[in-house]
A and B are shown apart, each in its own frame.
Chain A
Amino acid sequence: MAVVETLPQNHTRRRTRSHKSTAWLLTAPALALMVVILLVPVLSAFVLSFTDYSLAAPEVNWVGFDNYEKLFTRSSYEKMLWATFTYVAVVVPLSVGLGLGAALLINSLARGKEIYKTIYFLPVMATLLAMAIVWELMLHPTIGIVNRTLELGCGTVIESLWPWLANGCANGMPLWLGDKDYALWVVCFIGIWQGFGFNMVLYLAGLTGVPRDLYNAAEMDGARSAWERFRLVTWPALGPTTVFVVTITCIRSFQVFDTVEALFPQGGGPSKSAYMMMFAIYEKGIKQNLIGIGSAITMLFLVFVMIITLIQRRLTERKVHYS
């Protein structure tokens, strides 16, 4: 500070002016790329979604809302929306809940915290595509370890206690990925398996920020049980973390692609039960060159992401924690 004050006035002014142009020069590459790579594509997707554009086609026609109309009337897109929303509705609460549960359990341990943290974080690091293929092999109807393990239960007392298993023993174990009753749930399961460790780490970071003395205060006020302490202190203090974790998990879940593409190369799984939006964009836009409809799905996708983020901002502004 002292240095600046001793500078002659005109020097400062000249410097400020030269800063202006350098500042623009320094931001120019980033600014240009932001416009070209992020903003222009959003705008062009918007425009293209009203056309029947396709690469290498001689002409482009304006089709108005046709693409959007298809999106909301055709059964394959209805399946797409259903599959995507089911996936989000299943994966978000479960992977957030498991992340929170794991964080609370680990945080309360006397020893062994680090090892659990490391293990639970492994799937976050691993290439999802590779792990999806491993899961596919594990769920292989005949040679997969899952059905092999289940078959061990046949003829034992477990079979009589668990009707589902008894049915499997009698009529054959599920085909999992080949069965439209299971395929989507398997995809959800892999999503949860892969993602909850990430949420756990965020919650663990959030837990370090909960003031210790709040627990004592709550206890003095009569919050004796662990549940009461959680409800009165931990949960409210974790408010901001929860808002963030839910938002980021939502956005990630909407983007699910690797698992469905690897597991269902034919597109969308048995009777399109796992036909996700990102896969639909890829299939329609790139593989079938139907760019108009692909762009319409893109716009719908962006709208969902915007809505989620706006909700997040609203919640964050309202200051979810009162610690």
Chain B
Amino acid sequence: MTRIGEFFKHALLLLGAFIVIVPFYQMVSYSLKSPAEIERGIGGFMGSQALMIDERCVGSNTPDRVDVEAARTDYPSLSDSDILGALLEKVREDCKVRPAIFNYRSAFKEAPLMRYLLNGLIVTGSIFLLQVIVALPAAYALSKLKFWGRETVFGLVLFCLLIPVHAIALPLYIGLAKLGLINTYAALIIPWTISVFGIFLMRQFFMTVPDELIDAARMDGMGELNIVWRVMLPTAVPALMAFAIFSVVAHWNDYFWPRMVVTGDRSLFTPPLGLREFKADIDGSLYGPMMATATVIVTPLIVAFLLAQKKFIEGITLSGMK
């Protein structure tokens, strides 16, 4: 009886797992296949990886008059048009690539994907760093220092927890536009520098740090700001790690905000914006390179997640700790 029950549970869960995984499978599969294989829906996961001709490569290397003149000595007996034909044949031969290589190479060459990834790194990194610099001292003061107005400040933090930053995007956009900051890194980063959730979280964590630790540091003559960075920060590393994952995942994957404040300047595109641009640009046949781009963008977080699942699940569900 339990055997059968267990079997049905697995059957149900496997069905769910299948639906969850199919898009990932498709994404990677398309990123490896040739356009013809995608079009006709053949080739299994990898495709046949038969050599295909990169038409763009042929297009940019088409032999012209100069090439024909130069090649005349190599083909003494042929007419000009035959030389042209021979040269073209040679170019086509040189432009043959494996579909997988073609897709990934186009992903990086057709669009500045490297730049997008770098931007993603810069933006998520700066956001996290600034969030910590702003939140940690505040969290320390709210948990360990007694001062007039503390309850009010904390009440404000609790109130601000209710405001989703995405929801107030429009007034933020106007403010940034007035300051002339649209299409800058600042516009991508500044609205996220304040993480009320980070303050709340770190405050809850600091409450559990024993006062003796702080008093001992004060006896050693340490200033309050020093205490924040040299005493509190080291004790908070696990909580900070979880918060880092929470913050980096949210901002690496964020599409809404970059879409709002970066309008045309490709050099500022974050990975999701870059992918979106790729999609808007293609004529409908370059699915392979587009899926290669998607794979490149999705992979870093997925790999990190698979390597440190516990930490990631902890970090992403942080908001559940309230």
Is residue A125 contacting chain B, with contact meaning CB distance below 8 A?
A: yes
Contact A286 B41 (CB under 8 A): no
What residues of chain B lie closer than 8 Å to A120, measured between beta carbons? 16-17, 20
Cβ-defined partner of A129 (8 Å) among B163, B272, B316? B272
The residue in chain A whose Cβ has the minimal distance to the Cβ of B273 is: A129
Total contacting residues, chain A, CB less than 8 A: 89
Q: Indicate if A134 sits at the interface (CB-CB under 8 A).
A: yes
CB-defined contacts of A48 to chain B, threshold 8 Å: 171, 174
Q: Which residues from 128 to 154 on chain B have a C-beta closer than 8 Å to any C-beta of chain A? A: 133-135, 137-138, 140-142, 145-150, 153
Which B residues are CB-close (under 8 A) to A106? 13
Residue A1 is within 8 A (CB to CB) of chain B in the complex: yes
Closest chain B residue, CB of each to CB of A54: B174
Mask for A42-58, Cβ within 8 A of B = 1, else 0? 10110010000001000
Closest to A24 in B: B147
Residues from chain A with a CB closer than 8 A to the CB of B211 are 1, 4
Secondary structure at the B interface, as helix, strand, loop or mixed, is helix
Known A-B contacts A3-B219, A22-B224, A23-B150; the reply to A130 vs B298 at CB < 8 A is: yes
Pick from A24, A40, A128, A244: contact of B255, CB under 8 Å = A128
Residues B190 and A37 in contact, CB atoms below 8 Å apart: yes
B62 interface residue (CB < 8 Å to A): no
Q: Which chain A residues lie closer than 8 Å to B166 at the CB level? A: 255, 257, 278
Which residues of B sit under 8 angstroms from A145, Cβ to Cβ? Answer: 22, 26, 41
Q: Within the complex, which residue of B153, B164, B218 is in contact with A251, where a contact is CB–CB below 8 Å? A: B164
Q: Complex formed: what's the CA distance from A76 to B52 in Å? A: 48
Distance between B41 CB and nearest chain A CB, rounded to angstroms: 5
B71 within 8 A of A: no
Chain A residues positioned under 8 Å from B169 (CB to CB): 281-282, 285, 298
CB within 8 Å for A133 and B162 given contacts A110-B6, A262-B276, A291-B170 = no
Q: How far is the CB of A241 from chain B (nearest CB, A)?
A: 8
B183 CB to nearest A CB, Å: 13
Contacts of A278 in B (CB 8 A): 166-167, 256
B21 contacts the other chain (Cβ, under 8 Å)? yes
Could you tell me the distance between the alpha carbons of A15 and B146 in the complex, rounded to whole angstroms? Answer: 11
Q: Other CB < 8 Å A-B pairs besides A19-B146, A20-B148, 12 of them? A: A23-B150, A26-B140, A26-B141, A34-B196, A109-B10, A124-B316, A125-B249, A129-B272, A131-B298, A133-B279, A205-B320, A301-B167
Q: List 11 A-B contacts (CB under 8 A).
A: A3-B219, A26-B224, A34-B157, A48-B174, A122-B302, A133-B294, A257-B255, A265-B280, A278-B167, A291-B174, A305-B164
Interface residues, chain A, with chain B CB atoms under 8 Å away: 1, 3-4, 15-16, 19-20, 22-24, 26-27, 29-31, 33-34, 37-42, 44-45, 48, 55, 98, 102, 105-106, 108-110, 112, 114, 116-131, 133-135, 137-138, 143, 145, 148, 193, 197-198, 201-202, 205, 244, 248, 251, 255, 257-258, 261-262, 265, 278, 281-282, 285-286, 291, 294-295, 298, 301-302, 305-306, 309
